[in-house]
Structure 1
Amino acid sequence: MKTFTVITAAALCVTIIGIGDMMARPRPERVGLPASNIGIPWDDPCSHDDSLHIYDITHYDIHVDVDLASQLIYGDVSIRCYSTDNSLDEILLELKSLTVDTVEVDGIETVFDYHSDSLFVPLPAPLPEGDSVLVRVIYHGHPQHETWGGFWFQSQRAYTLGDGLYVYPPPYNHTWFPNWRHPADKSTADLWFTVPEDKVAASNGELIEIIENIPQQTVTYHWKQHEPISSYLYCVAVADYLILEDTYYDWIESYIYPSHQSQALVSLSNVHLMMDAYQDLFGSYPFQGKFGYAMTGGGDMEHAGLVAHVSSAVNGLHNFDWLLAHEMSHMWWGDMVTCGTWKDLWLNEGFATYCEALFHEHAYGEESYRNYVWNSLMSVYFNSYELFPIYDPVQLWTETVYEKGGCVMHMLRHVLGDSLFFTGWNEYGDRYRWDTAISEEFQEVMEEISSQDLDWFFDEWIYGPGYPRYNYSWHASPSGGDWEVFLWVDQIQTSGGPFTMPIDFAVISSVDTVIQTVWVDSDPFETSFISGLNEPVSLEFDYHNWVLETHIEIPSAVPEVSTVPLVYSLHPAYPNPFNSSTVIRYSVPNRCRIALSVFNVLGQKVVTLAEGSVSAGEHSVRWDGKDAFGNDVSSGLYLIGMNTPGYQQVNKVILLR
């Protein structure tokens, strides 16, 4: 048997870090990639070819010899296929740019047709529904990769990444073994990898045996994937690995480069906290065998039981804990339950992105959770400028699928409450365990558990574009010994909606803070509520940031009749010129809709300061010299434009930095 080094680190699982080190971060799939190439329009040709796929693959026996010196692979793969239709007379497999040497059907060599990355294997006779056939493919060649996915040779090492960023559909495992790439085709597997004797071959599932091939100076690793998974989740990573064992969970082991041993002891020392969180939330780790990370030249990728973890993230710091947590959570959401189509990718990636925040909540508390949602989900999405729907997105690997998808789970939790939300989520996991699911099925489970119709929520947030942008105004008046708050809300977004959402308002007095949840379910929206005995001095919109939204307060008084202005007017900004902020006052003689915006000298809108319905009277709004996304604008001349039905006015203002 081959021997290898195991590092059992007593210090591995004890370091706890400051929250600020793990906040804003780029998506792993987009690290180092040109932004212009990230999202390209896509289609799902596999779904169009489903009529050709009238069989079910249940098991692979995968034998691959990895020749690091020549950068070639030699494969021998047997595939157990069950017919799902009495007309099945041909097996179609996908295999990219390799040389097919021999094909057998039930042990008998047969002719085949291999072109355009498709391998057509005729059957001797139509296979009745429910019967099976064993297809064996022997092949070799230099496997392909794209910017992200495929099979990579690097510096006497090799690894695979199951998804491609620039191929559609994204699975790219057909670059090293024949399979059917649709995520709905799940299977088990035995995997044998033969590598040079000084290397380790890590793969999915449980390590069954290590066989020394003494004359050839090679070693064969036999891994067994017990649970059915989608083909893009199979993997191999070959290197001169050391194996790092976790001291809290002896079945967590990570494969690290010898040069990164000291860094790994730190960077991986919080992995047990992540496993604690997800097992508490979602039940026991679902796979037999190990869980771990394998250092690779690129990554990250949630291969079942063995995450490909980019080596640059093993840096002796904790600034990639979010990435470790994200990929670990995929073992439940993405691997155990997999999106049924790529249109439903948010069920994988949105869930895992939200799980980053759940890890923070479990390990560091509620405030850390809220900060993470705001800084690393909501703000990241806002800065993407994306407004297309989550379902069937025009681009896959984007903030809409990841961060907005995570925000949807955050908001659904607020709508349902913790008990119903987590009960429903776990029921979804149990019902579709080792299977695939689509968005409608997730909605059905959540409706069943909550006894609520959630069409309104999914129509807004999954199938519709954008997010709500609110203008609001309020005032408070004494009411029978209490104080009554009067509230006006307008939605000003140009994409999507109008949105119905429960909004938490914090009514703040000099004595206390009262939280009032208001269902804002129309546009425009008006309501009032009793806030208590103490006079309100301020009102905080969307307390604790439960809703993916932006809002602007439009200061509003309730003037006496004698103080109502007779004409519309946009008053000069003061101060002008200004440095940090300036106040813009405007007057309206009756309740009306208004748009008050800042433009640069090219006529481009910089930010909207007020938009929607305002009451008659004098109003003011402050501009802090930032654009719509919170970025400081440069010094110069700007135009303040006021637009109401029948009246427009423009004033100038100068910003000096």
Structure 2
Amino acid sequence: MNEQLKLSLFGLLLGGAACLGTVNPTFAQSTALTPQDSALKIYRAAATKINDLVHTKLDVRFDYGKRYLYGKAWITLKPHFYPTDSLTLDAKGMDIKEVAIEVNGKNVPLKYEYDNMQLFIKLNKTYTPNEKYTVFVSYTAKPNELKVKGSAAISDAKGLYFINPDGTEPNKPTQIWTQGETESSSVWFPTIDKTNQKTTEEISMTVEKKYVTLSNGKLISQKNNADGTRTDTWKMDLPHAPYLFMMAVGEYAIVKDTWRGKEVNYYLEKPYEKYAKAIFGNTPEMLTFYSKILDYEYPWVKYSQITARDYVSGAMENTTATLHGDFMQKTDRELLDNNNHNETVVAHELFHHWFGDLATAKSWSNLTVNESFADYSEYLWLEYKYGKDAADEHLLEGANQYMQMAKYSGDKDLVRFHYADKEDMFDQITYQKGGSILHMLRNAVGDSAFFRSLNAYLKANSFKATEAHQLRLAFEEVTGRDMNWFFNQWYFGQGMPELDISYKYAPGKVTVLLQQIQKDDKIWQLPMAIDVYVNGNKTRHNVFMQNKIDSFTFQVAAKPDLVNVDAEKVLLAKRDDHRDFSTFAYQYAHAPLYLDRRYAIEEAVDLQTTNPEALKLLQAALGDKYAGLRQLAVDKLKFNNETVRNATIAAVVKIAKEDKNSLTKAAAIRKLGSLKDKQYIPLFEAATKDPSYGVEGAAVEALAELDIDKAYSIAKTLQQDSKGKLINSITQIYAKKGNEADLNFIATKFDETSGQDKLNAAFDYLGFLANLNNTPAVIKGVDQIQAMTVQFKNAMVNRYISNWMEQIANNKSEAGKRLSGTQQQDLLKQAEYMNQKAKEIKNGEAND
């Protein structure tokens, strides 16, 4: 499950910080659990295995009008160890028509009880572990009538979703798709819905002939029926967990690819067919890359990817058939501004086919063995394909998301046997912190041992349920080292170290003093490299911090130019590094890594107006080889200072005109726009014709600061082909103009937008409604935004939206009091409606 989207929405919210401002601790804490929460006292053990799933055969058809699935299930099982005469199946919110057991080819009815969540079946005899038996269940699944709770990462748990089933929503296709994680497969078929179960499967779906279908495994038959429907049968010969079962139905284009003789297919809505290779085309290369580094070839029969409207998460690693939210459907122009995000999602879900689908977490407490690896796979792909700078930037962003969450909502163990709800495991600890921990583990044992250990873990646990201890044992087997020190502090503990770093030089030697200053008493064991630069030469020293205070002394020929602690920049830690700025300047010029240069740039930012060396460093950073650091330097320039502006303006103009990276180019245009200098109007006008939507958007916003009428005129021409960041920019300009005729564009684009862009669009939409005195339009817009909160189901998003809505309502109320007659009545009515809806959103009533 991709958290970003496999971004829990906290990560999504942080991603929109430019729009939302600083995260308010009060808001974040409102979602935190209290230590007194009784649910936290429950030990969350792996599910007891009484019966084992062996094979699941399903025959399903759909009732679009009722939003029902009519199903028949043949479930083959055997007792796990002890003989048993009973079976409990998870079957949520169903009408159970028949329960029987197959005996000599005939169905013999069985006695059962059903409590709307589980089916308790009395078998026809006591079965031993050597005996298989097949239970038949005829049922109707009614997902829309089931009241269930989702999570921040997976916002709904109905299991089966009918999208626009009546065809009444314009510009939205009719689709059916499923979402099994965490335990929602049992909404659409009876099963033992636990991660430590594995079963082969066969699914027959009867659909209208105009639709294509997708499920796990291979499509083994298609049969045309007399009533004009078609039955597609998909078969999965290798066992996997029930939460990874999937179905998808819709009018899709199928773009075919291949890898080592296996099908690799991409299912998209037809308008995006021509962009399929741009979106998913690196999948075969990823299959080769991951198979090689793991020394374990992709084990499944095929690999397909499909998009879904109104999807409740980012993406889901259903075995052989990954489901993506429709945010993945992007044109070539949109992908220019994507910063490889689509690729990291593709990589994440694909890597799950080893870590999660092949070797599966035994319980949700051990979710790290699924999600931390998928998170780290994003780093591995970026490092391989785009270089270490891109990978390190991505890892830093994830670590910062974790630190923000820990600061405001509290830290927790990576492996958690106590939680209030299994959905709570889908957080920045399991994902981003877990990815950073794997990066440290890789550094601690070395690349060769790291990947060989992953291979040993996979081979030992293929088609099994597993946990973090088995990962530790694999590393110990390969390295010959006891790894409890690492796993105890990072996997079975919480928090991270805080380091105070200082230096002392005496002739012939330099001493590094490391102090752990975190508030708790935990002492972290931290292997790290320290590089000492003297007279242009670098000497590496590998050290192991094991005490609260440690010092390391190194012999040197002269006073060092730089002592670079944690030279590999792998430690997940807060640090206070006490050294002169001259060492950071040297670090930028001579230390090779992204974080070396980034930390130096960040040190220079605060000194740029007072320290010529710092300004010189920022000038150099404007020409950094990595676009992300060029963008950082541009963003942090203090153009209100004449010295800074004069020293850097030429480089910023050059970036605005020529940089090959669209995000960096857009940043430079925004920076120039802040000057409100008419000499750059020709540059801005030229940029409104750029292939990148982000560059166009930055340019038209910059123009709006100088000539709102010209910007408005250009925005009107750009709106005909506008997506992503350009929509946000156009909406902001329309809000400034306050022309009611632009309402339809904003409302329509808001409906069409998804993912992070929709969250940003909500604030732009509210900005437009704030200046609009049209009561029906305001009510419609507020209702649209409230509907968005139903989709996100995130307390922080709701709090931000409702707070701003209340502010706008107060402004309208005050404005209304200064007027009279119809105008007053309209504004007061709008204010009253906004306040009412803000309260509903804040209280979560919109999510019921």
Deviation at 1:512, TM superposition (A): 2.3
What pairs up with 1:143-162 in 2 under 5 angstroms? 143-144=143-144, 146=150, 147-149=155-157, 150-155=159-164, 156-162=174-180
Partner of 1:383: 404
CA distance in 2, matches of 1:86, 1:500: 44
For residue 405 of structure 2, give the secondary structure of its aligned residue in structure 1.
coil
| Higher mean displacement: 433-442 or 84-93 | 84-93
CA distance in 2, matches of 1:36, 1:526: 38
Deviation at 1:260, TM superposition (A): 2.2
Letter paired with 1:256 = L
Partner of 2:473: 444
User: Relative to total residues, which structure has the larger strand share, 1 or 2?
Assistant: 1
The CA deviation string for residues 539-569 of structure 1, in whole angstroms up to 9 with x for no partner, is 222123111112112359xxxxxxxxxxxxx
Partner of 2:572: 548
Partner of 1:119: 119
CA distance in 2, matches of 1:37, 1:78: 45
CA distance in 2, matches of 1:230, 1:39: 31
Letter paired with 2:470 = E
Partner of 1:307: 322
Instruction: Identify if the C-alpha distance between structure 1 residues 542 and 519 changes in structure 2 by more than 3 Å, giving closer, same or farther.
Output: same
Tell me if structure 2 keeps the 8 A contact 1:39–1:398: no
CA distance in 2, matches of 1:546, 1:319: 22
Q: Verify: 1:178 aligned to 2:190, yes or no.
A: yes
Please, which runs of 5 or more residues in structure 1 have no aligned partner? 1-23, 164-169, 557-578, 584-630, 633-657
Q: Verify: 1:239 aligned to 2:264, yes or no.
A: no
Partner of 2:503: 474
Partner of 1:512: 537
For residue 276 of structure 1, give the secondary structure of its aligned residue in structure 2.
helix
The CA deviation string for residues 445-502 of structure 1, in whole angstroms up to 9 with x for no partner, is 11111000111111110111111110011122223xxxx2212111111247311111
Instruction: Identify if the C-alpha distance between structure 1 residues 130 and 35 changes in structure 2 by more than 3 Å, giving closer, same or farther.
Output: farther
CA distance in 1, matches of 2:574, 2:63: 55
Partner of 1:430: 459
Tell me if structure 2 keeps the 8 A contact 1:227–1:287: no
Partner of 2:724: none
Instruction: Identify if the C-alpha distance between structure 1 residues 491 and 372 changes in structure 2 by more than 3 Å, giving closer, same or farther.
Output: same
What pairs up with 1:166-315 in 2 under 5 angstroms? 170-213=182-225, 215-246=226-257, 251-297=263-309, 298=311, 299-315=314-330
The CA deviation string for residues 262-311 of structure 1, in whole angstroms up to 9 with x for no partner, is 34332212223322221111245434421011111214111000111111
| Higher mean displacement: 419-428 or 380-389 | 380-389
CA distance in 1, matches of 2:318, 2:469: 25
Deviation at 1:27, TM superposition (A): 3.9
Q: Verify: 1:485 aligned to 2:514, yes or no.
A: no
For residue 192 of structure 2, give the secondary structure of its aligned residue in structure 1.
coil
Partner of 1:340: 362
CA distance in 2, matches of 1:256, 1:108: 44
CA distance in 2, matches of 1:541, 1:402: 26
CA distance in 2, matches of 1:47, 1:435: 19
Instruction: Identify if the C-alpha distance between structure 1 residues 284 and 220 changes in structure 2 by more than 3 Å, giving closer, same or farther.
Output: farther
Please, which runs of 5 or more residues in structure 2 have no aligned partner? 14-26, 165-173, 581-604, 610-635, 638-848
Tell me if structure 1 keeps the 8 A contact 2:294–2:452: no
Deviation at 1:259, TM superposition (A): 2.5
CA distance in 2, matches of 1:544, 1:95: 50
| Higher mean displacement: 250-259 or 32-41 | 32-41
| Higher mean displacement: 271-280 or 441-450 | 271-280
Q: Verify: 1:399 aligned to 2:419, yes or no.
A: no
The CA deviation string for residues 600-626 of structure 1, in whole angstroms up to 9 with x for no partner, is xxxxxxxxxxxxxxxxxxxxxxxxxxx
Instruction: Identify if the C-alpha distance between structure 1 residues 173 and 283 changes in structure 2 by more than 3 Å, giving closer, same or farther.
Output: same
The CA deviation string for residues 323-380 of structure 1, in whole angstroms up to 9 with x for no partner, is 11101100000000001111110000001101110111221233333333223x3222
CA distance in 2, matches of 1:158, 1:45: 36
CA distance in 2, matches of 1:328, 1:48: 28
Instruction: Identify if the C-alpha distance between structure 1 residues 369 and 50 changes in structure 2 by more than 3 Å, giving closer, same or farther.
Output: closer
Tell me if structure 1 keeps the 8 A contact 2:47–2:196: no
Deviation at 1:510, TM superposition (A): 4.1
TM-score after normalising by structure 1: 0.75
| Higher mean displacement: 337-346 or 501-510 | 501-510
CA distance in 2, matches of 1:129, 1:39: 44
Tell me if structure 1 keeps the 8 A contact 2:46–2:362: no
Deviation at 1:517, TM superposition (A): 1.8
What pairs up with 1:20-39 in 2 under 5 angstroms? 26-30=5-9
Instruction: Identify if the C-alpha distance between structure 1 residues 86 and 450 changes in structure 2 by more than 3 Å, giving closer, same or farther.
Output: closer
The CA deviation string for residues 180-223 of structure 1, in whole angstroms up to 9 with x for no partner, is 1111111101111111111111000111111111x221111111
For residue 357 of structure 1, give the secondary structure of its aligned residue in structure 2.
helix
TM-score after normalising by structure 2: 0.59
Among candidates 436, 447, 450, match of residue 421 of structure 1: 450
Letter paired with 1:131 = E
CA distance in 2, matches of 1:220, 1:64: 9
Instruction: Identify if the C-alpha distance between structure 1 residues 382 and 29 changes in structure 2 by more than 3 Å, giving closer, same or farther.
Output: closer
Partner of 2:388: 366
> Over aligned residue pairs, what C-alpha RMSD do you find?
2.9
Deviation at 1:70, TM superposition (A): 3.3
Partner of 2:351: 329
User: Relative to total residues, which structure has the larger helix share, 1 or 2?
Assistant: 2
Deviation at 1:322, TM superposition (A): 0.9
Partner of 1:640: none
Deviation at 1:534, TM superposition (A): 4.2
CA distance in 2, matches of 1:105, 1:280: 46
CA distance in 2, matches of 1:120, 1:271: 43
What pairs up with 1:88-107 in 2 under 5 angstroms? 88-106=84-102, 107=107
Deviation at 1:387, TM superposition (A): 1.9
Partner of 1:611: none
Tell me if structure 1 keeps the 8 A contact 2:5–2:12: no
CA distance in 2, matches of 1:62, 1:56: 17
Letter paired with 1:362 = Y
